[in-house]
Amino acid sequence: MFRFSCVAAASVSLLFASACSEAPQSAHSAQARAVDEVRVIAEVLQFERERTRVEAVGTSRARLSAELYAPTSGEVVSVNFEPGQAVQAGDVLVELDSRQEKLAVRVAELNLEDAARLYDRYKRSAESGAVLPTALDAARTAAETARVELDQARIALADRTIEAVFDGYVGSTEVDPGDRVNTNTLITTLDDRSALFVSFDIPEAFIGELAVGNEVQLETWSGKVPVVVGEIVDIGSRIDPQNRTFVARARVRNDRDALRPGMSFRVRIDVQGDFYGVVSETGVQWGADGAYVWTVVSGAAVKVPVRIVQRREGRVLVDGPLAEGNIIVVEGTQRMRDGLAVSYDLQRMAGKPDIEPVSGAAKVTGRPLVVLD
């Protein structure tokens, strides 16, 4: 009896000791898990287009531009414009001596009247058989010839004046009344500068990136004229084999008449590329295999390799197996390893609204948000 009591007492003691030893171990394991969990700063991944700024030097020309030459030789009797004057289509700019041409027109008119009367007379007489058909045909030919000669005389008379062929502004001239001019004499220039076309060279790498209608910014080198915005109106179809560029041309309005044909411009074009994930610069890490970022999936850290596409003002465009809405670690990356338990605070990008935690993410604390410029 005494022996049985001793055995029972020993069993109870062992059970109590075992229970007491398991309690500290469970508490220790929970404490270890809490210590293993790392708190970091993270952001929600967003996607943006790659943007590349292309700069070039462009040269402008007027929307319409012409050099006016005398259509025939003669003596200048009148210059009817001042350099820089605005003119309209049809305005007479220079007159040459036209006395001979006016007389020639009058003679042609008389010849036509005489030939027309003769043809009418023969035509009436031919009905009675008094005029042979051959004579009637000759009279008809003479009348038509006289009409053509009158048209030629009128053209020759019109060539004694130089007119504006479209609305615009005339340039300077070296011609004065009394000068003798010929078909090689430049009278003046005429420009319609209500709009300008600016031509510039673009590297061949962007041949598929630019399109008609793309916006361009143009700035004069003097900086006295504000930056103006134009649009691409045509793109060259060939690559220059010498400098590996192609020509593009932009159109810019000149409503204030502050720009001039022949001016050079600094041309800027923002070329839009594909969409890529954008992360803070501090979130990109480097290893033996290249760049990578840390993401948080179901409360655990996951290493994702990426390729750097573009850097821009504290942010980096990356290409990799990422999706919009992924949680990217941007501070505390030095403590990361695959599978590590992670809790995080979200920060927001500069100029973006506060981002709500993604469903299924680890606990988000109420710490102040960190803004990255």
- Residue 96 is predicted with a pLDDT of 96
Q: Which run of H or of E encompasses 126?
A: helix 99-126
Q: What is the mean pLDDT of each run of 10 residues along the chain (373 residues)?
A: 40 41 45 66 91 90 95 95 94 95 96 93 80 86 95 95 95 94 95 95 88 92 86 93 94 92 92 89 91 93 93 90 93 90 79 40 31 32
Q: Number of C-alpha atoms within 13 angstroms, CB side, residue 296?
A: 34
Question: How far is the first Cα of the chain from the last one, in angstroms, to the nearest whole number?
Answer: 84
- Residue 238 is predicted with a pLDDT of 92
* Longest pairwise C-alpha distance within the chain: 176
Structure tokens at 253: 């309005």
Residue with tokens 């890529």: 276
User: All domains of the chain, ordered by start, with CATH?
Assistant: 36-49+275-372 (2.40.420.20), 54-61+186-274 (2.40.30.170), 72-94+163-168+175-184 (no CATH), 98-159 (1.10.287.470)
Q: Which run of H or of E encompasses 12?
A: helix 2-36
Angular region, 191: left φ>0, alpha ψ -120 to 50, beta rest: beta
3-state secondary structure (DSSP) of residue 139: helix
330 with 282: CB under 8 angstroms? Answer: yes
119 with 142: CB under 8 angstroms? Answer: yes
Angle at alpha carbon of residue 59, lines to 56 and 60, rounded to 5°: 130
Structure tokens at 249: 């041309």
- Residue 361 is predicted with a pLDDT of 36
State pTM to two decimals: 0.64
Q: At what angle do helices 133-158 and 99-126 cross, to 10 degrees?
A: 160
- Residue 314 is predicted with a pLDDT of 86
Q: What is the CA radius of gyration of the chain?
A: 45
